């Protein structure tokens, strides 16, 4: 009997908003899948696309990048930079045959624990439907 596929999600969360939102979800006991492993970063704008590529190479089925809402970035425009950088990174995902739905960008504030839980649940379901990521690494 095969166990149902459970995706592995890496969450790269901005320290000021999204990580605090995840903390709020935990404190308020919001229910969401335990498929995510969180790495706290100072700003979503500081996430190097190489981190994402290495995550996929290391076995992640999906990567969630979450940061402050536009206009609320603690570093003024870091979230705008993250959005531009990840949009251009999509072409590289296509080149490597990775479905763009495996990379998600979300805006979550510190008070939005329920939103964080919803984003994780939706991404988990979408990745379950896509199935495991099978990279051909030479």
Burial class (CB within 10 angstroms; exposed 0-12, middle 13-18, buried 19+) of 10: buried
pTM: 0.94
Instruction: With a cut of 60, say whether residue 44 has pLDDT above it.
Output: yes
Q: What average pLDDT does the structure give for the chain?
A: 94
Give me the residue spans of the domains in the chain: 9-130
pLDDT band for 4, please (50, 70, 90 cuts): confident
Instruction: With a cut of 60, say whether residue 138 has pLDDT above it.
Output: no
For the segment 5-37, what is each residue's pLDDT rounded down to a tens digit?
A: 999 999 999 999 999 999 999 999 999 999 999
**What tokens were used for 104?**
């998600």
Helix axes 18-27, 113-130, angle to 10 degrees: 100
Specify whether domain 9-130 bears CATH 3.40.50.960: yes
């Amino acid at each position: 009997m095969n166990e149902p596929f459970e995706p592995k999600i890496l969450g790269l969360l901005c320290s000021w908003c999204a990580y605090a939102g995840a903390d709020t979800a935990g404190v308020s006991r919001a229910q969401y899948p335990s498929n995510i492993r969180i790495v706290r970063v100072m700003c979503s704008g500081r996430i190097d696309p190489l981190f994402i590529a290495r995550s996929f190479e290391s076995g992640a089925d999906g990567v969630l990048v979450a940061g402050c809402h536009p206009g609320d970035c603690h570093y003024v425009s870091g979230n705008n930079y993250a959005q531009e950088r990840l949009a251009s990174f999509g072409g590289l995902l296509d080149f490597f045959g990775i479905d763009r739905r495996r990379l998600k960008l979300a805006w979550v504030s510190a008070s939005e624990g329920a939103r964080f839980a919803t984003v994780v649940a939706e991404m988990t379901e979408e990745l379950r439907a896509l199935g495991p990521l099978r990279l051909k690494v030479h």
